[in-house]
Amino acid sequence: MPDPVASPNQNTFLPVDQGNHANGKDTKIILLSGFSDKELHAVIDAYRLNKAMPKAIFATVTEMSENFKVKDLLAELKRERDEIEAARSKAEIASP
């Protein structure tokens, strides 16, 4: 069976729990498609205000990512998250 491909043609709220983060915790990824900027910010803000919710990677479907296989998109999102976290760690170390 082929991997599903994310489609930007409809409103989509797809929580995905795939794999483990390097620290052993599950990686939560929320992929959104078809939402306006205002709707996206409302969803993300509401999620983050609920302190009971686990930390998650938020992503939207783009022209580039809409043709990715889901497993490849998840790997790319995790790679980007790891790069951002590494850069933040370096910045914190460099700050007095």
Q: Quick check: is 51 in a domain?
A: yes
Q: Quick check: is 4 in a domain?
A: no
Of residues 45 and 20, more confidence is placed in: 45
Q: Quick check: is 6 in a domain?
A: no
| % of the chain residues with pLDDT over 90 | 40
- Quick one: pLDDT at residue 35? 93
CA 73 to mean position of chain CA atoms: 9
Q: Which domain holds residue 33?
A: 12-94
Q: Quick check: is 5 in a domain?
A: no
What is the number of domains present in the chain? 1
Q: Quick check: is 80 in a domain?
A: yes
Q: What is the pTM of this model?
A: 0.62
- Quick one: pLDDT at residue 65? 87
Q: Which alpha helices (DSSP H) does the chain contain, by range? A: 37-49, 70-94
- pLDDT band at 15, cuts 50/70/90? low
